[in-house]
Structure 1
Amino acid sequence: MASTAAGAASEPVESAQPARATGDVQSLPGAYLAAKAAQSEGALDVATDYFDLALEFDPDSDLLRQEAMFAFLADGRFDDGVALAAELRDDPDAGKVARIALGLAALRDARAQEAVEQLAISDPSELDSLLVGHLAAWAEAGDGRFDDAIKRVDEINGAPWFAIFNLYQKGLLAELQGEPAEARRVLTLLLDDAASVQTSPDAYLAAAEALARVEARAGDEAAALAAAERGLELAPTYDPLLHLRGQIEAGEEIAPTLASARDGAAEALYILGQAINRGDGQQVALLYFQFAQAVADTSSPKLLTALAGIAERASRIDLAISYYEQIPETSPYRRTAELQMGLDLWYADRKEESLKHLERAVAAYPDDLQAHLALSDVLSASKEYARAAEILERALKIAPEDGANNWNIYYQRGIAYERLKEWDKAEPNFRRALELSPNQPQVLNYLGYSWVDMNRNLEEGLEMIRTAVDLRPNDGYIIDSLGWAYYRLERFEEAVEQLERAVLITPADPTINDHLGDAYWRVGREREARFQWERALRGTPEPEPDVAEKIRAKLADGLGPVGSDVGHENEAPAERAANTPAEQGDASRPN
Structure 2
Amino acid sequence: MFRSLLLAATCLAPLPALSQGLAGPYLSARIAGFNNDYEAAGASYADLVEQGETTPQILENALIIYSVLGDFDSAVDVADILTQDGQPSQFAASARMVVALRDGDLATARDLLDDGGIAGPLLDGLLDGWILAEEGDIEGALAAFDALADQEAFTPFGLRHKAYLLAMTGDMEQADEIMSGRSGDGLLNATARGIAAHGQVMAQLGRRDDALELVTKANDATSSALLRDMQARLQGDDDVPFDLIRTPQDGMAEAYFIFAALLAGDSSATFTLLNARAASALRPDHVEALVLIAQLLEQQDQLDLAAMVLDAVPSEDPAFYEAEIARADILLATNDDDAAVQALRSLTDSDGDKVEVWAALADALRRLDRFDESASAYDRAIEMLAEVTERNWLLFYARGIARERLDDWPGAERDFRRALELNPGNPNVLNYLGYGLVEQRIKLDEALDMIEQAVEARPNDGFIADSLAWVLYRLGRYEEAVEPMERAVMLTPLDPLINDHLGDVLWAVDRKREARFQWRRALSLDPQEQEDRIRRKLEVGLDVVLEEEGGVGPIEAVD
TM-score bracket relative to the smaller structure: 0.7 to 0.9
Structure 1 residues 299 and 432: alpha-carbon distance in aligned structure 2, compared to 1, 3 A threshold:
closer
- Whichever residue aligns with residue 154 of structure 1, its letter is D
Residue 165 of structure 1, CA deviation: 1.6
Deviations 1:369-406 (A, max 9, x none): 11121111122223232332232223222224342322
| Equivalent residue number for residue 55 of structure 2 | 61
**Counterpart of 2:542 in 1: which secondary structure?**
coil
| Equivalent residue number for residue 134 of structure 2 | 142
| Equivalent residue number for residue 272 of structure 1 | 259
Counterpart check, 1:153 vs 2:137:
no
Taking every aligned residue pair, what percent have the same amino acid on both sides? 33
Residue 361 of structure 1, CA deviation: 1.9
Cα distance in 2 between the residues matched to 1:522 and 1:423? 28
| Alignment map for 1:208-357 (pairs within 5 Å) | 208-217=195-204, 221-226=208-213, 228-229=215-216, 231-235=218-222, 237-248=223-234, 249-252=236-239, 254=241, 256-278=243-265, 280-296=267-283, 298-357=284-343
Residue 342 of structure 1, CA deviation: 3.0
Deviations 1:446-491 (A, max 9, x none): 1111222333222321221121122112212111222222222233
Give TM-score, length-normalised by structure 2.
Answer: 0.85
1:416 to 399, 402, 406: 402
2:92 to 90, 98, 109: 98
Counterpart check, 1:45 vs 2:28:
no
| Equivalent residue number for residue 448 of structure 1 | 434
- Whichever residue aligns with residue 153 of structure 1, its letter is F
Choose 376-385 or 525-534, whichever is displaced more. Answer: 525-534
| Alignment map for 1:429-508 (pairs within 5 Å) | 429-508=415-494
- Kept in 2: contact 1:190–1:207 (CA 8 A): no
Deviations 1:290-339 (A, max 9, x none): 1112233x442222222222233233333232222222221111121232
Residue 357 of structure 1, CA deviation: 2.7
Choose 399-408 or 144-153, whichever is displaced more. Answer: 399-408
Residue 150 of structure 1, CA deviation: 2.0
Cα distance in 1 between the residues matched to 2:499 and 2:150? 53
Residue 268 of structure 1, CA deviation: 1.0
Structure 1 residues 226 and 518: alpha-carbon distance in aligned structure 2, compared to 1, 3 A threshold:
closer
- Kept in 2: contact 1:209–1:231 (CA 8 A): no
Choose 319-328 or 440-449, whichever is displaced more. Answer: 319-328
Residue 368 of structure 1, CA deviation: 1.3
1:81 to 75, 78, 84: 75
Residue 555 of structure 1, CA deviation: 3.0
- Whichever residue aligns with residue 527 of structure 2, its letter is P
2:527 to 543, 546, 549: 543
| Equivalent residue number for residue 110 of structure 2 | 116
| Equivalent residue number for residue 162 of structure 1 | 154
Choose 59-68 or 165-174, whichever is displaced more. Answer: 59-68
Cα distance in 1 between the residues matched to 2:250 and 2:244? 9
Residue 136 of structure 1, CA deviation: 1.9
| Equivalent residue number for residue 587 of structure 1 | none
Structure 1 residues 109 and 362: alpha-carbon distance in aligned structure 2, compared to 1, 3 A threshold:
closer
Structure 1 residues 500 and 191: alpha-carbon distance in aligned structure 2, compared to 1, 3 A threshold:
farther
| Alignment map for 1:558-569 (pairs within 5 Å) | 558-560=541-543, 564=547
Cα distance in 2 between the residues matched to 1:487 and 1:188? 60
**Counterpart of 2:36 in 1: which secondary structure?**
coil
Deviations 1:212-236 (A, max 9, x none): 333444555445445544643543x
- Kept in 1: contact 2:167–2:201 (CA 8 A): yes
- Whichever residue aligns with residue 43 of structure 2, its letter is D
Structure 1: any 5+ residue segments left out of the alignment? Answer: 1-24, 569-591
| Equivalent residue number for residue 578 of structure 1 | none
**Counterpart of 2:543 in 1: which secondary structure?**
coil
- Kept in 1: contact 2:180–2:187 (CA 8 A): no
- Whichever residue aligns with residue 388 of structure 1, its letter is S
Larger-Rg structure: 2
- Whichever residue aligns with residue 93 of structure 2, its letter is R
- Kept in 2: contact 1:214–1:256 (CA 8 A): no
RCO comparison, higher one (Cα < 8 Å, 6+): 1
Alignment length (residue pairs): 532
Cα distance in 2 between the residues matched to 1:194 and 1:448? 49
Cα distance in 2 between the residues matched to 1:362 and 1:421? 27
Deviations 1:77-134 (A, max 9, x none): 111222334566899x98554323222322223232431331346598xx73111111
- Kept in 2: contact 1:445–1:481 (CA 8 A): yes
| Equivalent residue number for residue 13 of structure 1 | none
- Whichever residue aligns with residue 227 of structure 2, its letter is L
Cα distance in 2 between the residues matched to 1:519 and 1:386? 34
Deviations 1:30-89 (A, max 9, x none): 433422332343321111112233445673322212222211111111112223345668
| Equivalent residue number for residue 181 of structure 2 | 189
Structure 1 residues 460 and 221: alpha-carbon distance in aligned structure 2, compared to 1, 3 A threshold:
closer
- Kept in 2: contact 1:209–1:227 (CA 8 A): no
- Whichever residue aligns with residue 389 of structure 2, its letter is G
Cα distance in 2 between the residues matched to 1:369 and 1:241? 15
Cα distance in 1 between the residues matched to 2:537 and 2:545? 14
The structure with the largest helix share of the pair is 2
Structure 1 residues 431 and 164: alpha-carbon distance in aligned structure 2, compared to 1, 3 A threshold:
same
Residue 173 of structure 1, CA deviation: 1.8
- Whichever residue aligns with residue 471 of structure 1, its letter is A
Choose 69-78 or 553-562, whichever is displaced more. Answer: 553-562
**Counterpart of 1:156 in 2: which secondary structure?**
helix
Cα distance in 1 between the residues matched to 2:421 and 2:494? 35
Deviations 1:507-541 (A, max 9, x none): 222212222222333334444333333332332xx
| Equivalent residue number for residue 515 of structure 1 | 501
Cα distance in 1 between the residues matched to 2:184 and 2:163? 14
Cα distance in 1 between the residues matched to 2:254 and 2:460? 40
Structure 1 residues 65 and 328: alpha-carbon distance in aligned structure 2, compared to 1, 3 A threshold:
same
**Counterpart of 1:119 in 2: which secondary structure?**
helix
Cα distance in 1 between the residues matched to 2:169 and 2:472? 70
Residue 281 of structure 1, CA deviation: 4.7
Counterpart check, 1:36 vs 2:19:
no
Cα distance in 2 between the residues matched to 1:170 and 1:109? 23
Give TM-score, length-normalised by structure 1.
Answer: 0.81
Structure 1 residues 477 and 59: alpha-carbon distance in aligned structure 2, compared to 1, 3 A threshold:
same
- Kept in 1: contact 2:149–2:158 (CA 8 A): no
